Structure 1
Amino acid sequence: MSDSLSVQQARKLILHSQQLATTGPSRSGSAISATLSAIEHLGYIQIDTISAVQRAHHHTLWNRNPHYDATHLDQLLASKQVFEYWSHAAAYLPMRDYRYSLPRKHAIASGEQGHWYEPDKPLMKAVLKRIASEGPLMAKDFEYRGEKLGEWRSKPAKRALECLYMRGDLMISERRNFHKVYELTERVLGPTVNTTAPTTEEYGRFLIKRYLEANGVGQPAEISYLRKNTKPLIATTLRSMLADGELVQLDVGGNQYVALPRSLALLNTPLARNKLAILSPFDNLLIQRKRMQALFNFDYLIECYVPQHKRQYGYFSLPILWNGKLVARMDCKADRRESHLHILHLAVEPSLENIDGLAHALCKKLPSFMQFNRCTQLSLHKASPNNYLAILRTAFAKITP
């Protein structure tokens, strides 16, 4: 027998768990400590290279910490409080969770789990020896004049570096102009980091608890999303935790979810009234598209991978969260040379009726978003439905960053 939540209650629980429902962290701590706290709570921050607007890892943290600065991640990496590795994708992870990256690393090292690059063991040995002798190196430090290989057109040394990184022999000590700098793992880790591999049971419980702390409610397929070979472990551990009362089962609109019992207290906290967030396509809230469709009735596809003539909304449309709902998407391009933020297309969901309210909320949020993207000018080029264009342009004309 499961308890039930309305879809609206589930959304509220999710948004509080995602730290998108409040007015932001208090000023009692430092800005960088708020950034670390957000990373530790969410469990990971996805790294992405697209720079139509500020990159996704910065954008995601800015939405949780209004005092976020793009130097924070470099500082936290240097102080060994976060590290780079793989979550469901490339990500910054809290160093306190380092030991839970070991099951994947050990599986890749043993050959139990495949890697997108075939290991070249003699080359990997030579690369490792050179880093041990010379210190941190980038892929460009390895000369190669031959043909680059594979889908990503990468040179052999880059492939060797990535194999060594994914299996745990190397870590990323820093980034220079967004390029990875590889170093021996033992020289990156601080002396207090727990390097003991978790037991199978510990690992299963970690994956479940981390997911539910950050996401409020979840299903087995969501918890194991893009985590190879974890589905049976998560299914078994979920059954055990439900039987022990560590989790509760919830019916949400006819679908079954699980949650941590203590998380249900978040339902007593109201959502921040009229709060609007301009989200990255790679924001932790949005990364599972089927989940967004089921729980937020928001059918989202990032179209940068879609041929231009087939795009409906634009190259890099940013979902708009307002009053607890996903109500629009905004395709943006920051022209940093001209300090100009171009809203190429603002598409409003058909379910939204209060366009004036949305325009007002956007006018309050856009100045800080422009500053975040180092822009002082704003242009709106297209809106859908088209009759909203004049309303929105009139509202935006009053914006002063």
Structure 2
Amino acid sequence: MDVASTSPQTPASGTAALRGPVTGGERAATPDVARGFMLLLIALAHASLYVRTEESVLMNHPVGGSALDRAVTFAGVLVMDNRAYPMFAALFGFGMATMVARQLAAGATAKAASRLLRRRGLFLLLFGYIHFCLIFPSDILGPYGLAAIVIGWVIVRGGRTLNVAVVVTGVIAVVVATLLSIALAFSNDPHGNSFRGTLWARDYGEAVLARLQEAPFADIHVMIGWPILPAILVGAIAARRGYLDDPVRHRAVLRRVALVGLPISVAGAIPIALVAADLWHPSGLVTGLITTVDIVTGFIGGLAYVAVFGLISARRKERGGEAGPVFRAISAVGRRSLTCYVLQTSLLTVFLAGYTLNIGDRIHATGAALFALGVWLTGVMVASLLERAGRRGPLDALLRRLVYGRGQRAAVRAQG
């Protein structure tokens, strides 16, 4: 969800000229393919929220079902839960830092670049609010827009400030995650059924009215309840050091992150996966602590996933051939991540919500995973068609125009 054009925009007086958004030729392949894959993880996580059973475990997964359902739940927690958020956050931070670097290289002041980040954050916050209220009340756009407003100023500062901010926000994130996880474990709703809220609503009008009030608090909860801020800042550091722009050169770093991060991620998720699959029933305190471990190791896992896609891109570049059809298709999704994200949440709502086709009442974990895969593949198909036609995703194009102003519209149209 970054932005592109070739003509510089004239900013307010007292600042140097701002560049338009990144052009197609300037885009790094690794972040795009990682975003495309990330949307599959998000679809899988979101679909299970709609499955209505007598009770739920750890907010995201239905209890019981067949042996296959339990296996799907276990696998989902192992590789997906609390991993998509930090993965997206790191890619979001990468995009923010890339935007700032391009503006500064074009002669813009740090103040002007920071203002551009805040503008982008504000529009993402607006998009997220609309999306939360009308389509899906587990939105990720709003929290990341809010994060851009809160810490965008750090990304225009020097490397030392950025490094200190990673440590500070990381420590705060661990403390907050621990307190929230333990508090939930000892609450009257230890399984987090209330989290589903209007996801299980039967009346759309009542759901929207409730969401209008819930959205601001939900954005804050997601931003501080998961290690989103440190992940964004780590992504910004990766952009400054060129880890994803030139994965061949930085293969050794990416390999270390992947080889160390993936085993830690899986090991940290095993205890909570056993609980989610209804195979272990620990005490409240233990549940809270292993949830914290899952969140922290999920942060590491999200970064490791990004590193894996960097290694894939490096290998493809070294072979010197054109990208294969799968790589191109997933990259097309990543280049239209905002459009594809809203498309897949809309399709999940249409099929699974109680006030639409209500299929969520008639499936379990396996059915939810199949629906998620189906809507993601639909997004892949739509993105591939748009790619062939040389068109951007409509919502991505709208965000670009809003962020960069009217002076960029002609340039954006000219680039498709």
Q: Normalised by the size of structure 1, how large is the TM-score? A: 0.26
- Structure richer in helix, relative to its length: 2
* TM-score of the two chains, using structure 2 as the length reference: 0.26
Higher relative contact order (CA 8 A, sep 6+): 2
**Higher Cα Rg: structure 1 or 2?**
1
